[in-house]
Amino acid sequence: MKKINETSNGMELIVSLAKRRGFVFPGSEIYGGMANSWDYGPVGAELKKNIKDLWWKKFVQQRDDMVGIDAALIMNPKVWKASGHVDTFSDPLVECKKCHGRFRADQLEGKCPNCGGKEFGEAKQFNLMLKTFIGPAEEEANLAYFRPETAQAMFVDFKNVLMTSRKKLPFGIAQVGKAFRNEITPGNFIFRTREFEQMEIEYFIATPKNDSEWQEVFEHWKNEMISWMKEIGLDMDKVHEYEVPTGDLAHYSKRTIDFEYEFPFGTKELYGLAYRTDFDLKNHMEASGEDLNYQDPETNEKFIPHVIEPTWGVDRSFLAVLCNAYNEEGEGDKKRVYLKLPFKLAPYKAAVFPLLKNKPELVSKAREIYLELKKDFMVAWDDRGNVGKRYYSQDEIGTPYCITVDFDTLEDDAVTVRDRDTAKQERIKISELGEFLRKAQGQPASPISGG
Ligand code: ATP
């Protein structure tokens, strides 16, 4: 069995599988594409949605100390002034003197990645926020920005959330949504793009009386992030923790760790965790004139909460999950590629086939099962080619089970269920299929009983 990092052309395999099977397509392809823009296809949209839903379930639904929001992408530009983004959200940009290509100075390894030139102009700070104009007049007064992170809305909406949710400290606000950055050097497929999605949490705590008070919460979230990575099936030997040195910390951070993953193109940042102190609420309070203090209901003490921020990239999660799930087995004609996706993430939980397409009694039985399972699960239908070919294509999109209706089914009301990872087959009663899939999903077999 071969994993993606054991092949020499890992990224090519992933990009080609992604396109061939409908995970990710080049954006605007019929117009010649658009550099570094990607569209999620039918199975990709499912996988991406499953990642986001699982995250929301784990961190919002199943916790008592979290609420979610869904804020506007374009916020008042004053938000970005107060947050420090207008002044400091930039990367150093250099131009190659030979080919005039522009690159991020901190990512160059001494020579131009384009032409190999070794001489560069002076580095200039390039602001990464994507600009637009609101309304018909393209003038400075109408300048606005697409949000470069989802985080700021959690601070800006803090007071409204506090009043409407009646949460007490410590508690967190979560959000999933698009963010935009005018990256100087996007690339590596969906790893670094100008438009991407984030899943972020701002977790508010009382002003720490000593370091151990915030360190404890930091540690809690570090463990939660590890637990998440295990849940999405990442091989934890490929995940590394990087403690960002004090000199490299972002302007708002007192401590940051990055979780890095061994992608086929190198070990790179997957997620981040930062202690943002009271930086954001304090700045928004000063800039907006609104009182963003929290009043402790027991002591009546007023203070600006401090914040621990765990942040996840959706697209990087997607890429790590794909790379991690990729498996090759056998050689030549016997070669089989399968995605060992956790059941919860798989785009389709099962595929239903009639053994033969031209036998109406098999087709109508299979159709019946398919439509019944579809009420509760994403299920695929396939009646093309032979069963072997159908297994092959379902394996490549990570469908955990293939269900075949054959002539015996008409006699015994059972079907052949084939397991993606082991390729083993077993007979299961049609009436037990729903229960079988629910169990695989990790759901309780019977509904919660009201006591
Ligand atoms: P990098 O150092 O790779 O530019 P960052 O440290 O600027 O990333 P954060 O500001 O911490 O990233 O953003 C939080 C998360 O959002 C990252 O951990 C990553 O998963 C995701 N992310 C950031 N920028 C991009 C991008 N251009 N494309 C896709 N995902 C991104």
| CATH 3.30.930.10 domain position(s) in the chain | 2-75+146-323
Ligand 1, atom 26: closest residue by C-alpha: 192
Nearest Cα residue to atom 24 of ligand 1: 192
Best substitution site from 152, 192, 195, 243 to test ligand 1's pocket, by max atoms within 8 Å of Cβ?
192
In the reported structure, the alpha carbon of residue 316 is separated from the centroid of ligand 1 by a whole-number distance in angstroms of: 9
- CB within 6 Å of ligand 1 — which residues? 149, 181, 183, 192-193, 196, 198, 269-272, 311, 313, 315-316
Give the full edge-to-edge strand order of the sheet including 102-104: 102-104, 90-95, 124-127
- Regions of the chain where pLDDT drops below 50: 445, 449-451
Residue type, 276: R
For residue 359, the tally of other CB atoms under 10 A from its CB is: 16
Measuring from atom 11 of ligand 1, which residue has the nearest CA?
Answer: 272
| CB 317, CB 270: distance < 8 Å | yes
Atom of ligand 1 minimally distant from the CA of 268: 3
> Could you tell me where in the chain the CATH 3.40.50.800 domains are found?
348-440
Kindly state which CATH superfamily the domain 348-440 is placed in.
Anticodon-binding domain (3.40.50.800)
Distance 90 CA to ligand 1 centre (A): 13
Between the CA of 181 and the centroid of ligand 1 the distance, in Å, is: 9
Q: What integer pLDDT is reported at residue 444 of this predicted model? A: 52
Given the CA of residue 316, which atom of ligand 1 is nearest to it?
20
Atom of ligand 1 nearest to the CA of 317: 20
- Report the pLDDT value the prediction gives residue 251, as an integer from 0 to 100: 82
Residue that has been written with the tokens 């720490």 in this structure: 208
Quote the pLDDT of residue 138.
87
For atom 12 of ligand 1, the residue with the nearest CA is 272
Mutate which of 90, 198, 201 to test ligand 1's pocket (most atoms within 8 Å of Cβ)? Answer: 198
CATH 3.40.50.10210 fits 2-75+146-323, yes or no: no
How far is C-alpha 86 from the geometric centre of its chain's CA atoms? 26
Q: Which residues contact 132 (CB under 8 A, 6 or more apart)?
A: 74, 143, 144, 145, 146
Distance 313 CA to ligand 1 centre (A): 7
Ligand 1, atom 28: nearest CA belongs to which residue?
Answer: 192
Nearest CA to ligand 1 atom 8: 269
The answer to whether the beta carbons of residues 239 and 269 sit under 8 Å apart is no
> What phi, psi does 141 have (nearest 5°)?
-65, -20
- Give the dihedral sign, CA 340/344/348/353: positive
- The C-alpha angle 326, 227, 214, rounded to 5 degrees, equals 140
Decide: pTM greater than 0.85: yes
Per-residue pLDDT of 217-253, as tens digits, reads: 999 999 999 999 999 999 999 999 999 999 999 888 9
Identify whether the C-beta of residue 318 lies closer than 8 Å to the C-beta of residue 341: no
Question: What confidence score (pLDDT) does residue 446 get?
Answer: 52
| Ligand 1 centroid – CA 11 distance (Å) | 19
Instruction: Name the residue of 196, 239, 280 whose CB sits within 8 Å of the most ligand 1 atoms, as the mutation to test its pocket.
Output: 196
Across the strands, what pairs with 25? 39
Residue minimizing CA distance to atom 29 of ligand 1: 192
| Residue located nearest, by CA, to atom 19 of ligand 1 | 313
| CA of residue 315 to ligand 1 center, whole Å | 10
